[in-house]
Structure 1
């Protein structure tokens, strides 16, 4: 028997042994250990995830107020809990009355919920200096 045949036979035996060991591990591990993705926290686990809803909070500067449309344009910093970088964007507000206390250029703190593509400000307060 030549050297390459012997090496090939040893590799096949080793492969079979490794497969058997892997199969044994899968059988003996609890189901939770076999599927870490199923038990691992979702991305952004510090935010609320109920039926695809995420919550975050941030600070920003009021750029435009649309009381009739219940919308607020903010130039905001990073929104924690949503992995959203700083930008200027339009948000819907939960209640139009939330907008009555503010004017363009005011600094605000806010909480926002995202459900699908909808971003809704649920809390709006003056930012502390």
Structure 2
């Protein structure tokens, strides 16, 4: 019983740390250049992506939630977060910039 409780406490602690790290992932500003719903990708002209040590460029990214693609149009200014998920650069958060 005590071992199970320790395991649950450890799991909760690790989950909390992962959420905190994700919440602190830096956002990047960019501009939508292309939307490809069939491939679940968005092409962005972006500034430096610090957490990936990536210089400014234009490239296509996989979307974590492809349903979000319908909220954007070519030319929209956006703020987004990219992480490497299963070996692919993936937009994990995105919103229109003010």
TM-score by length of 2: 0.69
**Which residue of 2 is the match for residue 124 of structure 1?**
94
Report the structure number with the largest CA radius of gyration: 1
Which structure 2 residues correspond to residues 74-93 of structure 1 after superposition, within 5 A? 74-93=44-63
Assess if the C-alpha contact under 8 Å between 1:56 and 1:82 holds in 2. no
Gaps of 5+ in 1: 1-47, 49-54
Greater length-normalized contact order (CA 8 Å, ≥ 6 residues apart): 2
TM-score by length of 1: 0.53
Query: Would you identify which runs of 4 or more consecutive aligned residues in structure 1 move more than 2 Å?
Result: none
Distance in 2 (CA, whole Å) between partners of 1:56 and 1:116 is 19
Relative to total residues, which structure has the larger strand share, 1 or 2? 2
Provide the aligned length of Structure 1 versus Structure 2.
75
Deviation at 1:56, TM superposition (A): 4.7
Deviation at 1:59, TM superposition (A): 1.0
Which structure 2 residues correspond to residues 1-129 of structure 1 after superposition, within 5 A? 56-115=26-85, 117-128=87-98
Gaps of 5+ in 2: 1-20
Assess if the C-alpha contact under 8 Å between 1:68 and 1:96 holds in 2. no
Distance in 2 (CA, whole Å) between partners of 1:74 and 1:127 is 13
Residue 27 of structure 2 aligns to a residue whose secondary structure is: strand
Residue 81 of structure 1 aligns to a residue whose secondary structure is: helix
